[in-house]
Amino acid sequence: MNLKKVFYLGGMAIILFLLLISQTLTQARGSFDLASYLPIVLEGSSSTPGPTAEPSPTPTQPAQPSGPKIAYKRGAKGLGTNQLYIMDPDGGNPSFVQDGVDTNHRWSPDGSTFAYQAGVTVGSETHYEIYTVKWDGADPHRLTGLAGEDENPHWSPDSSKIVCDHDVFGDHEIHVVSVDGSGEVSITDNAVNDYNPVWSPDGSKIVFECLRGGDRDICLINPDGSGEVNLTPNPTDDRLPQWSPDGSQILYKTSGEVYVMDADGSNPANLNDVEPDAGYGLWSPDGSRIVFEKNVGFAHNEIFVMNADGSGLQQLTHAEALNKEPSWSPDGSQVAFSSNRDGNWEIYVINVDGSGLQNLTNTPAYDEKSPLWWGP
Ligand SMILES: [Ca+2]
Ligand SMILES: [Ca+2]
Ligand SMILES: [Ca+2]
Ligand SMILES: [Ca+2]
153 alpha carbon, closest ligand:
1
310 inside domain: yes
* Amino acid letter, 18: L
Calculate mean pLDDT across residues 93-109.
Answer: 96
351 inside domain: yes
Q: Tens digits of per-residue pLDDT, 329-368? A: 999 999 999 999 999 999 999 999 999 999 999 999 999 9
**Ligand 3 mean position to 232 CA, how many Å?**
6
Please state the separation of Cα 331 from the chain's center in Å.
Answer: 15
Which pLDDT value is given to residue 45? 34
Give dist(CA 371, CA 105) in Å, integer. 10
Its pTM stands at: 0.82
pLDDT surpassing 90 at residue 22: no
Residue 306: give the domain boundaries.
Answer: 65-101+276-376
**Ligand 3 mean position to 6 CA, how many Å?**
120
Report whether 116 contacts 104 (CB < 8 A): yes
Calculate mean pLDDT across residues 98-110.
Answer: 96
**Ligand 3 mean position to 233 CA, how many Å?**
5
Better pLDDT: 219 or 17: 219
234 alpha carbon, closest ligand:
3
360 inside domain: yes
49 inside domain: no
Q: Tens digits of per-residue pLDDT, 156-204? A: 999 999 999 999 889 999 999 999 999 999 999 999 999 999 999 999 9
The residue among 160, 75, 98, 86 whose CA lies nearest residue 374 is: 86
283 inside domain: yes
**Ligand 1 mean position to 175 CA, how many Å?**
10
Q: Tens digits of per-residue pLDDT, 27-49? A: 433 333 333 333 333 333 333 33
Q: Give the torsion through C-alpha atoms of 209, 247, 88, 161, to 10 deg.
A: -60
Output the average pLDDT for the chain.
Answer: 86
**Ligand 2 mean position to 148 CA, how many Å?**
13
120 alpha carbon, closest ligand:
1
Q: Tens digits of per-residue pLDDT, 244-273? A: 999 999 999 988 888 999 999 999 999 877
79 inside domain: yes
Q: Tens digits of per-residue pLDDT, 226-250? A: 999 999 999 999 999 999 999 999 9
Q: Which residues of 232-260 are buried (b: 16+ CB within 10 A; e: fewer)?
A: beeeebbbbbbbbeebebbbbbbeeebbb
Q: Which of 67-76, 77-86, 103-112 has the lowest mean pLDDT?
A: 77-86
118 alpha carbon, closest ligand:
1
3-class SS string, 49-64: CCCCCCCCCCCCCCCC
Q: How many domains does the chain have?
A: 1
**Ligand 3 mean position to 255 CA, how many Å?**
9
184 inside domain: no
**Ligand 4 mean position to 79 CA, how many Å?**
12
